[in-house]
Amino acid sequence: MSAAVGIALTGSGSATPSRTVSNDELSLWLDTSDGWIRSRTGIAARRVATLEDSLESLASQAAREAMDQAGWTPDQVELILLATSSPEDLFGSAPAVQAALGATNAVAFDLTAACSGFLFALITGAQYIRAGTYRRVLVVGADMLSRWVDWQDRRTCVLFGDGAGAMAMEAAPHGWEGLLAMAMETDGRRRHCLTLSHHTTPQNLHEQLQAGSGGFGSITMDGQEVYKFAVQQVPLVLTRVLQQAGITPEQLDWLLLHQANERILAAVAQRLGIPASKVLSNLQHYGNTSAATIPLMLHGAVSTGGIQPGHLIASSGFGAGLSWGAALLRWGVT
């Protein structure tokens, strides 16, 4: 049997709506304050989609940038995975991204795992490359939870923002490995901690047939439970992937966590003994963009030269499900 194919991470991209909403602006209609939000979360502002924005166009913009950075033409893309919990079509928004890119040879589909979505999609895409099924995969994380928060609920709406990020991933030159270890977990028994549920109302079609109709409500969250879950599970899953790869925390260049809360980033880093200078954060500007946080942060750090080819990055996503996972990545190819 031939050896499994290696993975190379060769491009990144991102896109956000242009409208910024500061904490002070939120306090125009909510009983909240800049001081409360900053001290509890590290968030100062977030981007909010207005009526001109669309999830599919942000996702397409991010994907195009990643594709261009990798040096691929649209016809070379073989798989597009769109991690999102807020598609514009419940049948899937990924085909719209495929069409916008003109990636006519690709297959495109959505993957839903809330804030773990990008990491789960990255791991899923890597399996297709390892198996030799596809050679070039675009992994996109995009969410617009501004459409799904209750803007009168100060416990949740202050946390989230909108955005998209993407990564180009391909079969590696011989001997190169960009995905050194990975793990994914879910615990459906704790799904009530963070939900966006369908509310079903009865529809009487005739005397003996009652079907359901309805729509989705808004996000509900037990903030303290989610916080405790994250600071317990994320260090454990990161330790597991580091051990799988035989890497120590000191060898890491960067810690790239799902951007949910500055205090969670600090607690996880402290547990692993990783200095604050290696912890990537853009929470201040974007808040929690759900499936987009990891590729949005990655692209920012690649663009400013923080993340360099060959750098070793430990990444972890976590959120509703409850779901969580980790991957040990080596950026670019040297």
Binding site for ligand COA (CB under 6 A): 32, 36-37, 40-41, 115, 154-155, 158-159, 221, 223-224, 226-227, 260-261, 288, 319
Residue 265 preceded by cis peptide, ω within 30 = no
State the nearest-atom distance from the C-beta of 44 to ligand COA, in Å: 13
State the nearest-atom distance from the C-beta of 198 to ligand COA, in Å: 20
State the nearest-atom distance from the C-beta of 233 to ligand COA, in Å: 12
Judge whether 258 counts as a catalytic residue.
yes
Q: Which is nearer to ligand COA, 224 or 277 (CB)?
A: 224
Q: Which is nearer to ligand COA, 47 or 136 (CB)?
A: 47
The secondary structure of residue 332, as a DSSP letter, is B
Which entry of 23, 261, 282, 288 is annotated as an active-site residue? 288
Q: Which is nearer to ligand COA, 8 or 260 (CB)?
A: 260
Judge whether 157 counts as a catalytic residue.
no
User: What does 34-65 look like in DSSP terms, one character per residue?
Assistant: HHHHHHHH---EEE---TT--HHHHHHHHHHH
What is the rounded CA–CA span in Å between residue 326 and residue 172? 21
Contact between 231 and 260 (Cβ < 8 Å): no
Residue nearest to ligand COA (CB): 223
Judge whether 193 counts as a catalytic residue.
no
Tokens of 2: 């031939």
State the nearest-atom distance from the C-beta of 168 to ligand COA, in Å: 25
Q: Which is nearer to ligand COA, 47 or 330 (CB)?
A: 47
The secondary structure of residue 316, as a DSSP letter, is E
Tokens of 196: 């966006």
State the nearest-atom distance from the C-beta of 238 to ligand COA, in Å: 16
Contact between 63 and 101 (Cβ < 8 Å): yes
Contact between 166 and 138 (Cβ < 8 Å): yes
Nearest CA to 143 among 80, 54, 75? 54
Nearest CA to 242 among 308, 181, 169? 181
Contact between 255 and 279 (Cβ < 8 Å): yes
Q: Which is nearer to ligand COA, 12 or 41 (CB)?
A: 41
Phi, psi of 58 (to 5 degrees): -65, -45
Phi, psi of 45 (to 5 degrees): -155, 165
Which residues are tagged catalytic? Answer: 115, 258, 288
